[in-house]
Structure 1
Amino acid sequence: MGMLDGLPFAFWNSPFNTRKYVDSIFADVMSKAKVSTLIIDIRNNEGGDNTGNYILSYITRQKLGCDDPDHRCFRFLTVPDSLLLYLSTWDRSFKAPKDPTHFFINKLNLYEQKKDHDDCAYITPKEKVFKGKVYLLINAKNSSASYEMARNFKMNQLGTVVGETTGGIDKVLMEASSSF
């Protein structure tokens, strides 16, 4: 049995090379003939970058994505100057003023980015993928990118999800099975 755990997805302003680390883990797991089960533990992972999708590229046999494309929405198109001092984020676009002509008001009364191109982030399988059973451990702290990883894992039936309901993202929550 192989185990991948404790990997946060947030490496903003860090020299740590997440992809290289994930590559090394899967190279090790797949080099061992006896490893027929992999447990990926993302409990307590609150999200960050797209490390989860990179991990999924090692366990899927088909290209994933675009069944449920992301919708980039904002409550405001500009951040008040009085708040800028208190905001810190890896994504500078949140602080940048937005051109109102690039947005429309959606049914949730949020500014949603107009789409004129396919902006889905496809997950393309690696040349060598793990072919055994995969279990994904989740809990209520999963949100943002770790929720998206769990959603993609479950929707594409890449294995068994085990744990509690995720913290979700926006108004969507994901239910998990309670045991193996």
Structure 2
Amino acid sequence: IDIRNNYGGSLEEINNLYSYLSSEPYTLIKPSQVISKSSPLKTNYFRKSGFLQYAFKTLMYPAFFFGQTFSTYKKDGKFYYKTRADKVSKPKNDVFKGKVFVLINGSSFSASSILTSKLKNDKKAVLVGEETGGANDGTVAGFYSFQTLPNSKIDLPIGVLLVQPNITFTDTKKGVVPDVKVSETMEDILEKKDPQLDWITTEIDKEKRP
């Protein structure tokens, strides 16, 4: 599985992928935390909408409002956002039972880091490459509130959902560290070489030998 230079995706996608890699029921993430019950509403719903889009979104706003509002709940003084990925999921009938290698690098972020962190914790795969850019213990993403900086006028997306893999946290404040570190040099890039993938193919060839 190659998730190098992968900036992320949806929880639904990685939960579906994980269901093909785990032979037993699993829970992908811990309950996702938000600051308040209204946090999901601070997502610039009308951002970059043309006239027709604005009109349509205006009509749909009540559904959006109630959908987001009822997707949050409070427990032990904290607010959480409901997702399917924090519930127990069943493996697929045709789950893959072979050895899994996953390629990662410094441009693996967000959902790709959640996936690799979970795979490493559960010992479902061998991670090869370089430390991910996304943190091992979670990410603040899910949906975003865009804020315009006062001087540069740059639109800065700020995640409002704390998403953490269902793992034993490392508390290292680092990305997901590969099981096998294989670095890519500038020379490799210029010569279009892939030492990380080469390591995996060599390892597979070794395991095929009698």
The one of 1, 8, 15 equivalent to 1:53 is: 15
RMSD of the TM alignment (CA)? 3.9
How far is 1:136 from its partner? 0.7
Residue type at the aligned position of 1:173: G
Shift, 1:124, TM fit: 1.9
Give the number of the structure whose alpha-carbon radius of gyration is greater: 2
Q: CA deviation at 1:118?
A: 9.1
1:79 pairs with one of 33, 37, 42: 42
Identity of aligned residues (%): 27
Which residue of structure 1 lines up, in the alignment, with residue 107 of structure 2? 141
Residues 121 and 141 from structure 1, CA distance in 2 versus in 1: closer, same or farther, beyond 3 angstroms?
farther
Residues 47 and 119 of structure 1, relative CA distance in 2, 3 Å threshold: closer
Find out whether 1:174 has 2:170 as its counterpart. no
- Letter of the 1:164 counterpart: E
Greater fraction strand: 2
User: 1:119 and 1:41, CA in 2 relative to 1: closer, same or farther beyond 3 A?
Assistant: closer
Q: 1:135·1:162 contact (CA, 8 Å) conserved in 2?
A: yes
Structure 1 range deviating more: 44-53 or 146-155: 44-53
Is contact 2:31-2:80 (8 Å) kept?
no
- Is 2:118 the partner of 1:152? yes
1:32-73 CA distances to partner (integer Å, 9 max, x unpaired)?
xxxxxxxx111111111232222222221111116x513232
User: Aligned partner of 1:70: which letter?
Assistant: P
Task: For residues 155-178 of structure 1, give each alpha carbon's deviation from its aligned partner in whole angstroms, at most 9, with x where no partner exists.
Answer: 111120112111222466211131
Structure 1 residues 103 and 62, CA, compared in 2 at 3 Å: closer, same or farther? closer
For structure 1, the 5+ residue unaligned runs are 1-39
Aligned residues, how many? 128
**Match in the other structure for 2:93:** 127
Q: Runs ≥4 in structure 1, deviation > 4 angstroms? A: 96-99
What is the TM-score of this pair, normalised by structure 1?
0.53
1:123 Cα deviation from its structure 2 partner: 3.6
Distance 1:63 1:166, change over 3 A: same
Q: Distance in 1 between matches of 2:48 and 2:131?
A: 31
TM-score by length of 2: 0.47
Contact 1:54 1:123 in 2 (8 A): no
Offset, 1:134? 0.7
Q: Larger % of helix: which?
A: 2
- Partner amino acid, structure 2, of 1:151: S
Q: Aligned partners of 1:70 and 1:148: how far apart in 2?
A: 13
Distance in 2 between residues matched to 1:70 and 1:164, nearest whole Å: 28
